Amino acid sequence: MDATYPGGNDVDPLAVPSRYRETERDAGVPASTLEVDGERFTVHPDGQGGTHYTWLSGKNPGYGFSLSPTPSESLDVHRENIRGFLAGVDPSTGYLDDD
């Protein structure tokens, strides 16, 4: 995994996608469903300025990713985030490619 995202934002090189588990801080924050290129995701603000994306139509229930900060992002930005995630997914496993 690259240590930077496009645009030069530093990331934690040890960060890995995982199943989103709602915390008490997240409870009651409304989620929405978004379809991107035939794939369905929930888009859930985390209550701390970030967003959890859960891949509803993927091979692996509950799999997805999180980004932060994402205050008041437009639908187009959420779609771009999801497309970036999908571009890295290995179609045979349904998980992000390790390369």
pLDDT at 46 over 90: no
pLDDT of residue 8: 47
pLDDT number for residue 53: 94
At residue 72, the pLDDT reads: 75
Report the chain's mean pLDDT, rounded to a whole number: 78
Q: Prior bond to 69 cis, omega within 30?
A: yes
Q: Which has the higher per-residue pLDDT, 67 or 20?
A: 67
Burial environment of residue 49 by CB neighbours within 10 A (0 to 12, 13 to 18, 19 or more): exposed
Q: What is the DSSP letter of 35?
A: E
Q: Which residue has the higher pLDDT, 88 or 72?
A: 88
User: What is the mean predicted confidence (pLDDT) over 46-64?
Assistant: 90
How sure is the predictor about 73, in pLDDT bands with cuts at 50, 70 and 90? confident
Mean pLDDT over 87-92 rounds to 94
